[in-house]
Amino acid sequence: MAENEILDLKTSSRWRRTRAALAKPDLSVAAMAECAADNLQSELQRSLAQVFRKGQTLLTILQAVDEHPSAMRAAIRIFQDQQLARIARDAAKAAVTKDISTIAQCAADMLIDGLMKQALILANNNGCFQDRQRIEALESALTNEFSVRRSTLVAVIETSLQGQPVKKLKTVRKNRIPMTAGAAVLIPLAIVKRGGNHVPRPY
C-alpha cells in the first residue's frame, strides 16, 4: 500500500498516541476506542487536506462511473489518492441510488470500515486485546466512536463529489452515543442502512 493512500495507517508515527495507550496495562475498552478514533480522525484530517489541496475533487471519479472502464482507470490513476478514488468508485456502484448524498454515505461507511479494521489489527497485536470478547467489545466501542464522527466525514466527501473545494474535517468530541447492550447491536446495522446496501471490503 502506497504511503499516500488514505488507509495507509501502518506507520508508527500515525499510531503514536494509540500505541502509547496500548502500553498501559489497565487500558479499558472504552479508552482504547476513543483514543484510536481520535488518532485516526486527526490523521484523516491531515490526509484529506493533502488530497484536496491539490485541486482535484471526487467529481472527476463520479463522472467516469458511466464511461468506458478505461476512462475510470485513467481518472483513478491521475487522482491524488488512488485508494480514495477507488472507494468513491465502488460507493457510486454500490449505492442504491445515484443521489450524491447516498453515494457519500456509502463511501464514508467503506472508509470507516477500513479504518476500523486497521485499529482492530493493531489492538489484536497487543497482548491485552487478544481475548475474543475484548476484541468484540472493542469493535462495538469503535463503531460507536466512529458513528459520532460519521456525519462530518459524509459532508466532506459529499462536498468533493459535488466538485466543490473541501476544508479540513472538524474535530468531533461530543454527544457520544451511550454504549448500552442494545446500542452495540443496533449501531452497526444503522451505519450500513444509512450508507446504502454495500458489502464492506478491503481496499
Domain housing 120? 28-195
Could you tell me if residue 187 is inside a domain? yes
Instruction: Please state the separation of Cα 151 from the chain's center in Å.
Output: 11
Neighbours of 132 (CB within 10 A): 9
Could you tell me if residue 11 is inside a domain? no
Per the structure, the count of domains in the chain is 1
Give dist(CA 169, CA 149) in Å, integer.
9
Could you tell me if residue 20 is inside a domain? no
Could you tell me if residue 103 is inside a domain? yes
Could you tell me if residue 3 is inside a domain? no
Per-residue pLDDT of the chain (203 residues; tens, 9 = 90+): 444 566 665 555 667 888 888 888 888 999 999 998 888 888 787 778 778 777 689 999 999 999 999 999 999 999 988 999 999 999 999 998 999 999 999 999 999 998 888 888 888 887 778 888 989 999 999 999 988 888 888 999 999 999 988 765 555 554 444 444 333 333 333 333 444 444 334 34
